Amino acid sequence: MSLIDIFISTLNVTLPVFAMVFIGIGLKRFHWIDQNFVNTASRLVFRATLPTLLFFGLADADLEATLDPWMLLFFALATLASFAATWGWAMGRVRRPLRGVYVQGAFRGNCGVVGLALAAGLYGDEGVSLGGLLLGVVILSYNVLSVIVLATYQPQKEGASQGVDWKSILKHILTNPLILAVVVATPFAVWDVSLPDWLTTTGDYFASLTLPLALICIGATLSTRALRKGYRTTLSASLAKMVVLPTASTLLAVAAGFTGPSLGVMFLFFASPTAAAAYVMAKAMGNDETLTANIIALTTLMASITVTLGIFALRLAGLI
């Protein structure tokens, strides 16, 4: 395969995903969809269609071929290392009130939508299965680590209670629809339980709504005008999220012996832009939501270039 063929095949994976994001920007700009649509569609994706996609992707998976405990452990360790490195870098370089938002924005990727969409485009059902397994690690680690760093730098209002409601956080993690979908689907995959054809077809129809709806919603919520505020801090966090950390984590994965779909899906998760959930958590905990929105917007725009170049480089090296 020639260099041009490799590049074109890479664009065939990444362009459809990011084209849907830009379509979302256009639909919102022309007022064909509004914030009420985005809110409703986002809830539908999070509570129903994405869990359905994960369930059927995992239930039909061959766990003997896809389940790799070392991959899950490596991803968890890489996430923890990225979190620690980002926090260490921010100490003394980022103003204290912005430090929690900076760290969260630099390490927390949108794996559940963008990462999974790219994995599906690159590897099909196998990519969804591998991504679904990794999402269990992602959801748990991202939420816990984000709470830790945001709580550390949370502005204390007069009369406000001190500390974090860990019981509430644990409840949200245990009732997360994505985690529940992975847990429920696992026995079907372990014991190779066959589902009726009509149920599988219905599930596929419903699950197929997930990625287009989610990507359109991401585009509709982007605000490039917000990027004018705090541009230097935004750029620093975005470069860490989209260039430094994915490169370092992927090189470590290669050194650890990962190749093929495992390496490819991990790279896509490492290289996903900052998750929209980061904005919700930052705002809820009294941190700077404007900076968070800036980081989400810039990393999403950067991803169309950085992810494409990353896949191209890995394919060129024969690693995926």
Q: How many of the other CB atoms lie within 10 Å of CB of 35? A: 10
CB 13 within 8 A of CB 118: yes
Average pLDDT, the chain: 87
What is the pTM (predicted TM-score) of this model?
0.84
Q: Which domain holds residue 276?
A: 3-221+230-316
| 294/283: higher pLDDT | 294
> Strand, helix or coil at 61?
coil
Number of domains composing the chain = 1
Supply the CATH number for residue 285's domain.
1.20.1530
Enter the tokens of residue 243.
């260039």
Average pLDDT, integer, range 147-176: 70
| 210/107: higher pLDDT | 107
What is the pLDDT at residue 182?
81
What is the pLDDT at residue 229?
62
Q: How many of the other CB atoms lie within 10 Å of CB of 163? A: 7
Q: What is the DSSP letter of 62?
A: -
CB 265 within 8 A of CB 130: yes
Q: What is the DSSP letter of 160?
A: P
Q: What confidence tier does 1 reach under pLDDT thresholds 50, 70, 90?
A: low
Q: What is the pLDDT of residues 101-140, one digit of tens each?
A: 999 999 999 998 899 899 999 999 889 889 988 987 888 7
pLDDT exceeds 80 at position 284: no
Residue 132: φ, ψ to 5°: -65, -40
